[in-house]
Amino acid sequence: MKTKTTRSKSLSPTSSAAQPKPRGAVARPLRAPRGTRPTGAPGASPARSREGGLHGFLIGQTEALIAEVLKFTGPADATTSRFFRAHPKLGHSERGIIAEAVFAVLRRRMEFAHLAESGTGGPTRRLALLGLMQTAGRSALRPFLSEDENAWLEHVAKIDPQSLPLRIRTNLPDWVAEALAARFAPDELAQLAAALNYAAPLDLRVNPLKASRDQVLAALEEAGIEAGATPFSPLGVRVVGKPALTKLKIFEDGWVEVQDEGSQLLCSLVAPRRGEMIVDFCAGAGGKTLALGAAMRSTGRLYAFDVSERRLAKLKPRLARSGLSNVHPVQIDSEHDIKIKRLAGKIDRVLVDAPCSGLGTLRRNPDLKWRQSAASVQELAPKQASILASAARLVKPGGRLVYATCSVLEAENEAVVAQFLAEHPEFALVPAGAVLAEQRIGLDTGEYLSLWPHRHATDGFFAAVLERRTAAA
């Protein structure tokens, strides 16, 4: 691929491209980030109009999908995909309009439900109008609404968001808000909640086996895509908007993978070295596996364990693009599989990206806060402890174990690590900031890696580095 060298343009955590600035919840309708707003096109589907691509027909479709999603019978993205398969005549632009509005409702469900207590029409229609007002704008809606509905939206748009109760403005279930209130002062909790109510930016990880970050940035610029270096990860690129990445040659050739900057930093904590034996204990579709393999320069041996054959199957095409030859995907039946026991005491570094509530990913999966409960988090704790204990048996003396989640709850993070250390005195905590500093990454969040959307413009992540000091008794 022909590229030109360019200076890395850095996006700080507070830059507009790194993270949207929180705006009034209802005083001014929000627009989708540049490059993601659906637009109409001449000669396109009759469902479109000149009003920003919106047509009255789409209001009803949005209302129907909201009704399905709010049943919470499964993940919102799966419900949305199923809905669109059942309505094949909807074009790409129409699907974007509908999906953005539905996910806006999920992000701000408490706020919108509060506002929808007034108005005319059914409650689901009112939610649909609020979602569309945020993503498409009130002017686009106006031609398709009754006089009463337009008057109601005008009234809603004038409401000062600061006049709403804090619990309404946070758009978090009470049990989540209470857990976070124990960590943050009210002002910062409001900032965190606001950050969680914006869609996550598109982050890429550069594959150093095939390209440099400057080469990737030059290729993106040549393709007319605005991007810059992420503030912390040395291999991260943050893209403005949501371009069709899979159609780009840099994606097809394995130069980049989609990976949130926070996830990249978790891999940096593992700090794998060439020639080592590494285990990604809960590999999933392999995003972190690929990052670890590239850091090893495709040397040594990297095992990707997971209980799901379907998830491991998604790793195969990504692995083929990456150029890695040191990755060995292994399906296991549980954390007690005999395949794991055979490696006991032989592994240099183990990453445990434990199953968790996923509440750190609410920018991407806003339905999780409504589908999870305090009870479901409590039920996960024994599983997290069991996985961590099983993974620990693999680590050789002097080796390291990294426990990580995409949760923001102490019960899934610090509490799990504290219990593990109490039961495994042969392990000691290594300050995460020191590990990152060794790799010239200037980020110190204390003993643990604690990433927050409002502070770091990443998903919410937690990680602890644990080193085996002596052989287990």
Over residues 66-81, the pLDDT tens digits come to 999 999 999 999 999 9
Q: Residue 4 has what pLDDT?
A: 41
Cα distance between residue 237 and residue 231, in whole Å:
9
Give the pLDDT band of residue 283 (cuts 50, 70, 90).
Answer: very high
Q: What is the pTM of this model?
A: 0.87
What band does 125 get if pLDDT is binned at 50, 70 and 90? very high
**62: its two tokens:** 């949005």
CA-closest candidate to residue 280, choices 413, 401, 461? 401
Catalytic residue among 267, 282, 356, 406: 406
Q: How far is CA 357 from CA 144, 201, 372, 445, in A?
A: 40, 21, 7, 22
What pLDDT does residue 12 have? 59
- Phi-psi domain of 287 (left: phi exceeds 0; alpha: psi -120 through 50; beta: other): alpha
Residue 471's pLDDT band, with cuts at 50, 70 and 90, is low
Q: Is the pLDDT of residue 161 over 90?
A: no
CA dihedral 106→110→111→116, nearest 10 degrees, is 90
Distance CA 48, CA 309 (A): 41
Confidence of residue 13 (pLDDT cuts 50, 70, 90): low
User: What is the structure's pLDDT at 143?
Assistant: 94
Name which of 437, 444, 419, 417 is nearest 429 in CA terms: 417
Mean pLDDT lowest among 14-28, 75-89, 265-279: 14-28
- Would you say residue 298 has pLDDT above 50? yes
Q: Is the pLDDT of residue 164 over 70?
A: yes
Instruction: Tell me how far CA of residue 73 lies from CA of 302, 367, 368, in angstroms.
Output: 37, 11, 12
State residue 242's pLDDT score: 87
When pLDDT is cut at 50, 70 and 90, the band that residue 23 belongs to is very low
**pLDDT above 90: residue 52:** no
Residue 54 has a pLDDT of 77
Specify the higher pLDDT residue, 1 or 348. 348
Is 267 one of the annotated active-site residues of the chain?
A: no
